[in-house]
A and B are shown apart, each in its own frame.
Chain A
């Protein structure tokens, strides 16, 4: 039971640092100069509402993720709307693809 709890805590830690890294990647690759990591809520919508990104940003972010994490988001096979819904969703997808 204790071991299981430590595993969960470890997983949460890596997820939140991945989420922060993703936030920084979003800021850098999309030229969001006035925004800092703290300003982005992991659960907040990335597109339209929320952060207000658009379709070109999605392509740019896809490229940045491919370069940094070697994870390819395939518009034909993957549920792009779900993957790009929020930083949390994006982190979950990248985590699952890396394992």
Chain B
């Protein structure tokens, strides 16, 4: 498989170089447009998703969206399971916000975004699965697609240690991609090379570095094959550092 697309804009939240006070103030600004009655339902994970996405689209943008998370709101599900084990009744609100498409649902309400929305739990394919979904939407005629990757560290209860499926920090990355137009042209392809560069939470920092730094290509290996992203020379921007 090989497919080209244009990366129009991207943003990560929280920034890789943390500045607690400044980041908190900026987070407040980025969430300011969210209606109060919705804001009370945002978990810390939902907040970073909103902050990353908000930097890639404005309030009035209506856009098809693809969300991707290895674990979603697993911490919420785990807390509910502990309550069930203790014989307590579980909160309907907590249950509704624990499902894998909960954050995407809140996002569509906050942005009044009524276009197609897909939420992927990609397993060992990692970042590639959501890209394939988004590229499919572009192929079907969407002018642009918003892609949002997010995960938080897994709850300690889970024996994740020997597996590469949990990151140390919560992070969200949003990208707005298009079929053509201005931006950085990127080629995505698959290779027969196998290996294990981990699942999405582990792949994400490598992908963010690829966006931030002048490196021309990134290859992520999975047990079945590899995925490669390459920055292409195009008329609008030269290969190199991309600005988020």
Contact = CB atoms under 8 A, between A and B. Distances in A.
Interface in A50-85: 52-54, 56-57, 59-60, 63, 66-67
A60 B40 contact: no
A56 B89 contact: no
A63 B96 CA distance: 14
Contacts of A30: 40, 93
Main secondary structure of the interface of B (DSSP, over half): helix
Given A60-B91, A63-B89, A63-B91, A33 B96 contact: no
Interface string B31-54: 000001100110000000000000
Interface residues of B, number: 9
A56 B41 CA distance: 11
B92 to A, nearest CB: 4
9 contacts: A30-B40, A30-B93, A32-B40, A52-B37, A53-B37, A56-B96, A60-B91, A63-B92, A66-B89
Contacts of A32: 40
3 closest Cβ pairs, A-B complex: A59-B92, A31-B40, A60-B93
Given A56-B92, A60-B93, A31 B41 contact: yes
A30 B94 CA distance: 11
Nearest to A31: B40
- Which interface class (under 10, 10 to 19, 20 to 34, 35 or more) fits A? 10 to 19
Contacts of B37: 52-54
A70 to B, nearest CB: 13
A34 interface: yes
A73 to B, nearest CB: 13
A91 B164 CA distance: 53
Interface string B84-95: 000001011100
Contacts of B93: 30, 56-57, 59-60
Contact of B36 (A34, A57, A66, A67): A34
A32 B93 CA distance: 13
Contacts of B89: 63, 66-67
Contacts of B40: 30-33
Contacts of A67: 89
Interface string B64-106: 0000000000000000000000000101110010000000000
A53 B93 CA distance: 12
A28 to B, nearest CB: 12
A57 to B, nearest CB: 8
Nearest to A59: B92
A57 B93 CA distance: 7
Contacts of A63: 89, 91-92
A23 B140 CA distance: 50
Nearest to B92: A59
Nearest to B88: A67
A57 B96 CA distance: 11
Interface in A26-59: 30-34, 52-54, 56-57, 59
